[in-house]
Chain A
Amino acid sequence: MAENVLMDSETIDRTIVRITSEILEKNKGAKELVVIGVRTRGVHIAERIVNRIEKLEGIRPPMGTLDITLYRDDLRRKTEWPKVEKTEIPFSVEEKEVILVDDVVYTGRTTRAALEEIMDFGRPSSIQLAAMVDRGHRELPIQPDYVGIKVNTLSSEEVRVHLKETDGNDGVIVLQG
């Protein structure tokens, strides 16, 4: 299978630095921020963003994890049964600026489910979306506020974000289907 490397480890590091700065610039600091990662890889990217915020601002925003399985719109169409993992948001999102972090934005359906789930925890002032890769092909009116890299892909291709925490190395690759 042909493999095309979009980002290497250093590029990912620099991208985290840039996205974090953009977040802090737009929100004028980190005071009202909370960061929520979508399982599984969004959580690790969220962690890196939170670490970077702490380094720059001296405060560590609360971090949560989201499992959107119970909110999927294709739950009962799937033939493969999706395992439910834990959602953990141990803080109030009320009146907060929520940074929602995912690895890849594609159809927008995961983001739709994540938005609905966050709303069940309270009413934040805003929800902003950060993604390492925007690969296009949106099926819903959803756009990320912070993007690592934007690429044109074919639906038959597969975009994979590899992270040290789960895959042993950092990198973004496109696999031709």
Chain B
Amino acid sequence: MTFQRKHILGLEELTAEEITLVLDTAESMKEVSERDVKKVPALRGVTVCNLFYEPSTRTRSSFEIAEKRLSADVLNFTLSHSSVTKGETLLDTARNLEAMGAGVIVIRHPMSGAPWLLAKELDSSIINAGDGSHEHPSQALLDLFTIREIKGRIKGLKVVIVGDILHSRVARSNIWGLVKLGAEVRVVGPPTLIPKYIENAKVRTFYNLDDAIEGADVIIMLRIQMERQESVYFPSLREYSRFYGLTREKLKRASEDVTVMHPGPINRGIELSSDIADDAGSVILAQVSNGIAVRMAMFYLVASAGRNV
């Protein structure tokens, strides 16, 4: 099978075969990061622009490392230094980057759908690095990659996603990917943070963490986004933590070799008790290094296939 897409915008539109191809390619890319010279010439001469309208250190750094390991020329465009603050529209900014020769544009934007607008209007390849509360494909792909690496498969696994499902683009992308690859997905959180009609996505909804965790193979903890919690979705952080924070006691209900994952940064003592955070540390760091391999695979697939980028 070949990858025919020019853009990677979300997991909703990828097929199971395409997702598997990204994961397989990432497996080959991982070896590059273990070499003395961590660089291959595959994207030599391609200019990649990272266009970030939201603050992000780790996702942007991970994309940047991936770009550099493939020998691309990297251009960083962040909100605070750019003409965005002078009132330029997204499309005008992106057209300027394209005029400077950007063959691939990586975009993070607070508005859902922004990457699709660029994909429609521009000739460059677009990679979505997170749009509003809609999709975050690279994070979901690296989560899938990490699960497959640890468990050897995805099909048939019981995967629980815990927390603020409503605002989480990580949850949305993960649900699409996990369901397509045959996992049994459960979501759990306070009723105010579970979106309506989520059953349409073929997941089971729980409001009680103990029930949701029963027999789980993988637990994906979502970050409580302090910056988005001005409005009242739950009475207090302490209460949230008591009901939905993961502790050793609660974890006993899960499968014996359960894997706990977190997209980072962790709020210790809120989503995860500190001892669980320490136990899960190695997996969380594996997620970070796998993120580079997965992003390299994404660039390789959109930039190589005979395209004039």
B267-300 to A contact mask, C-beta < 8 Å, 1/0: 0000000000000000000000000000001001
* Neighbouring B residues of A83 by C-beta, 8 Å: 24-25
Most chain A CB within 10 A, of B37, B41, B297, B309, is at: B41
Question: What residues on B are CB-neighbors of A117 within 8 Å?
Answer: 40
User: What sequence of 0s and 1s flags, for each residue 118-142 of chain A, a beta carbon within 8 Å of any chain B beta carbon?
Assistant: 0011100000000000000000000
Q: Which residue of B lies closest to A68 (CB)?
A: B40
**Distance of B92 from chain A, by nearest CB (Å):** 29
Tell me the complex Cα distance, A121–B29, Å: 15
The A76-116 residues at the B interface (CB cut-off 8 A) are: 76-88, 116
**Structural contact, A87 and B306, CB atoms closer than 8 A:** no
**Do B36 and A120 touch (CB < 8 A)?**
yes
Chain A residues closer than 8 Å to B237, beta-carbon distance: none
Task: Knowing A71-B40, A116-B41, say if A85 contacts B28 (CB, 8 Å).
Answer: yes
Q: Is A75 an interface residue (CB 8 A)?
A: yes
Chain A residues lying within 8 Å of B24, measured Cβ to Cβ, are 83
Q: Are A121 and B42 in contact (CB under 8 A)?
A: no
Give the Cβ gap from A80 to chain B, nearest Cβ, in Å.
7
Counting CB contacts under 8 A, is B307 at the interface? yes
**What is the size category of the interface that chain B forms with chain A?**
20 to 34
CA separation between A86 and B41, bound complex, in Å? 16
A117 and B297 CA atoms in complex are apart in Å by 18
B306 lies within 8 A of A77 (CB): yes
B304 and A81 contact, CB distance less than 8 A:
yes
B34-55 vs A, Cβ < 8 Å mask (1 yes, 0 no): 0111011110011000000000
> By the criterion CB–CB under 8 Å, are A121 and B36 in contact?
yes
Complex-state Cα separation, A75 to B42, whole angstroms: 7
Q: Does B3 contact A (CB under 8 A)?
A: yes
The number of residue pairs between A and B whose CB atoms lie closer than 8 Å in the complex comes to: 61
Known: A120-B35, A120-B39, A122-B36. A86 touches B28 (CB 8 A): yes
- Report whether B36 and A70 are in contact in the complex, using a CB–CB cutoff of 8 Å: no
B111 interface residue (CB < 8 Å to A): no
List chain B residues, Cβ under 8 A from A78.
304-306
* Minimum C-beta distance from B295 to chain A (A): 14
Q: Which of A76, A84, A116 contacts B29 (CB 8 A)?
A: A84
Nearest-CB residue, chain B, relative to A116: B41
Q: Name the residue on B nearest A120 (C-beta).
A: B37
Contact A67 B37 (CB under 8 A): no
B121 interface residue, CB < 8 Å from A? no
CB of A75 within 8 A of CB of B35, answer: no
B150-166 interface (Cβ within 8 A of A): none
**CB of B31 closer than 8 Å to a CB of A:** yes
Asked whether any CB of chain A lies closer than 8 Å to the CB of B214, the reply is no
Asked if B306 contacts A79 (CB within 8 A), the reply is: yes
CB within 8 Å of B: which residues of A? 67, 69-71, 75-88, 116-117, 120-122
Give the A-binding residues of B (Cβ under 8 A). 2-3, 24-25, 27-29, 31-32, 35-37, 39-42, 45-46, 70, 297, 300-301, 303-309
**7 nearest interchain CB pairs?**
A70-B40, A81-B305, A79-B306, A120-B37, A70-B42, A84-B28, A81-B2
